[in-house]
Chains A and B, each alone.
Chain A
């Protein structure tokens, strides 16, 4: 058993914790090659749809740009979260979803966007993943600075693990954008981002962070559900289908942490899905 500074005893052995962590990492590593292959297929499909020609050359530096992009989003969050503002508990819901959800807005998304067709939803997905990465990073930074009070170990582990998964999702989607000859999404070009930052700056405890995170996870899962029947490329459909359950699992644990039933819906709805019109690029 591990004894923490505050006198709390970890109700699981170090050995068990190490084993679980190792299993988690192995599963993560095992799936990445599959994901890379899937992303490559998706790039090819989108390229065929859009250009009908040979693949644009993707410089090696582009991959580094993708990785830096996630870091850039985190930095932006860290800065913004330091500037406290009034609370807005429904910031994500109010800013991310129209009353009718994404379903009614896909066709009306900005026609001037540099991302069109399937790539518009890919760009939206990337931005949402960056938004989530930044939010968890800001929350962890706030916790480290003591601005959230006592942070339970399970919550810290949750934020760290989930942030890494969202970063991997963002990398996968950015690889698709770059492969299709489009700029990677290196920040959070979403019109609801100011509201999210405002809400993040106002949270003062773990429950507040969990509530905001739940909004982001619900938004993510439902946006991917929307994508499964609104994108046309098989690779895009498969990728969205493989991420939606993961975001939903995050939501389940956040609901549990908040004392709410972890599986509230018989069928995942789309009323909280992000609208493609949120994109500002």
Chain B
């Protein structure tokens, strides 16, 4: 799109700026993190016991400690990958918000992008806080696989519909990944964290799918709150939730965005 080509340095700057957004995110997730801290403390005590037993020659307990360490590794990698997906989403939405056809376009779409950016920022902070609590490092970089796809796609974005299409892809990957992560992490506290974020990403996707249908139908004027429900096409009542059970076949592996 010529003069609207994206500068990757700008992306980096915007990513850094986005990390300062939504300062109340930690307050929102305090409860979950306190739960997780408590649980992690219990595990440390339990690990201490296992270590002492291993020093005394308990081979079975040593094996258990190894299994626990492996589980923790999966937890940390899943959290870091989740943070990397959130970082990428924040970067893309922040970039999109600055595009002329978004900034000066449909006000409802622009407002959605602003709010969604803040929500992804909150998610990223929550995942990174949990990763740190679990003994890992915070992930401040974007998911490498999808960052490459975004980098390849951004120059071809010429309209709100293009932005919506890209955003749908990212929201779906996030929702699928977290839905699968619920079954992969080792504690109820982490299950709760992933399971409380996956539906929010799914709601982003649902909203975007509805917007996509209205744009494809040539009716951007119907994208407004409150909507003129009588004028919405029949398809708007079904396009937003294409799956009876949320799939996970496109979920990212836990290692995809882990800190190397």
Q: Which residues of A contact B (CB under 8 A)?
A: 8, 10-13, 16-17, 20-21, 23-24, 27-28, 31-32, 34-35, 38, 150, 152-162, 164-165, 168-169, 172, 206, 221, 224-225, 228-230, 234, 237-253, 256-263, 265-269
Contact A253 B210 (CB under 8 A): yes
> Is B110 in contact with chain A by the CB < 8 A criterion?
no
* Segment at the A interface, from B99-107, B155-163, B211-219: B211-219
* Contact, CB under 8 Å: A168 / B207: no
Knowing that A28-B243, A34-B245, A35-B245 touch, tell me 18 more A-B residue pairs with CB under 8 angstroms: A16-B217, A16-B235, A20-B239, A34-B247, A38-B245, A157-B237, A161-B241, A228-B195, A242-B248, A245-B202, A248-B203, A249-B205, A253-B241, A262-B203, A263-B119, A266-B122, A266-B200, A267-B122
The segment from B87-95, B129-137, B146-154, B226-234 found at the interface with A is B226-234
A152 CB to nearest chain B CB (Å): 5
**Contacts A262-B206, A267-B197: A229 and B192 contacting too (C-beta < 8 A)?**
yes
A-B contacts, 18 of them at CB < 8 A, read A10-B234, A12-B216, A31-B243, A152-B230, A153-B233, A156-B234, A225-B199, A228-B195, A229-B192, A230-B188, A237-B182, A238-B183, A243-B246, A248-B203, A251-B203, A252-B202, A253-B210, A263-B207
Residue in A38, A156, A206, A253 with the greatest tally of chain B CB atoms within 10 Å: A253
Flag if B239 contacts A252 (CB, 8 Å): no
B202 touches A237 (CB 8 A): no
A24 touches B245 (CB 8 A): no
Q: Which residues of B contact A158 (CB under 8 A)?
A: 237-238
Q: Are B116 and A24 in contact (CB under 8 A)?
A: no
**Residues of chain A with a CB closer than 8 A to B199's CB:** 221, 225, 244-245, 247-249, 268
Instruction: Classify the interface of chain B: helix, strand, loop or mixed.
Output: helix
For A20, A35, A238, the residue with the greatest tally of chain B CB atoms inside 10 Å of its CB is A20
A154 to B179 Cα, complex, angstroms: 28
Q: Which chain A residues lie closer than 8 Å to B203 at the CB level?
A: 245, 248-249, 251-252, 262-263
In the complex, which residues of chain A have a beta carbon less than 8 angstroms from the beta carbon of B217?
11-13, 16
- Cβ of B236 under 8 Å from chain A: yes
Chain B nearest CB, measured from A140 CB (Å): 12
Chain B residues with CB under 8 Å of chain A are 25, 28-29, 32, 115-116, 118-119, 122-123, 126, 175, 179, 182-183, 188-189, 191-192, 194-207, 210, 213, 216-219, 222, 225-227, 229-248
- Whether B225 pairs with A256 at a CB distance below 8 angstroms is yes
Which of B191, B196, B210 is close to A237, meaning CB atoms less than 8 Å apart?
B191
Taking a contact as CB atoms under 8 Å apart, the answer to whether A153 and B244 are in contact is no
Shortest distance in angstroms between A58's beta carbon and chain B's nearest beta carbon?
Answer: 22
Could you say which residues of chain A place their CB within 8 Å of the CB of B234?
A: 10, 12, 17, 153-154, 156-157
The answer to whether A248 and B200 touch across the interface, beta carbons within 8 angstroms, is yes
Determine if A152 and B229 form an interchain contact, defined as CB atoms under 8 angstroms apart: yes
Please name the residue on chain A nearest to B120 by beta carbon.
A266
The reply to whether A229 and B188 contact each other, CB–CB distance below 8 Å, is yes
Residues of A contacting B191 with CB < 8 Å? 228-229, 237, 241
Q: Which residues of A contact B247 (CB under 8 A)?
A: 31, 34, 242
Identify which of B28, B194, B196, B244 contacts A35 (C-beta below 8 A). B244
Query: What A residues does B219 contact at CB under 8 A?
Result: 11
List, in ascending order, chain A residues with CB within 8 A of B230's CB: 8, 150, 152
- Tell me how far the C-beta of A239 lies from the nearest C-beta in chain B, rounded to whole angstroms: 8
Whether the pair B29, A267 counts as a contact (CB closer than 8 A) is yes
CB distance from A30 to the nearest CB of B (A): 9
Q: Is the CB of B207 within 8 A of A252?
A: yes
Task: Point out the residue from B192, B204, B205, B222 that lies within 8 Å of A11, measured CB to CB.
Answer: B222
Alpha-carbon distance between A152 and B227 when the two chains are bound, in angstroms: 12
Known contacts A154-B232, A266-B25, A266-B122; is-contact A225 B207 (Cβ 8 Å)? no
In the complex, are the beta carbons of A246 and B244 less than 8 A apart? yes
Q: Are B182 and A241 in contact (CB under 8 A)?
A: yes
A162 to chain B: closest residue by CB: B241
Inter-subunit contact A12/B213 (CB<8 Å): yes
Residue numbers in B under 8 Å from A27 (CB-CB): 242-243
Q: Is the CB of B188 within 8 A of A241?
A: no
**Residues of A contacting B189 in the complex (Cβ-Cβ under 8 angstroms):** 229
Q: How many angstroms between the C-alpha atoms of A258 and B245 in the bound complex?
A: 25
> Given the complex, which residues of A lie within 8 Å of B115, measured CB to CB?
261, 263
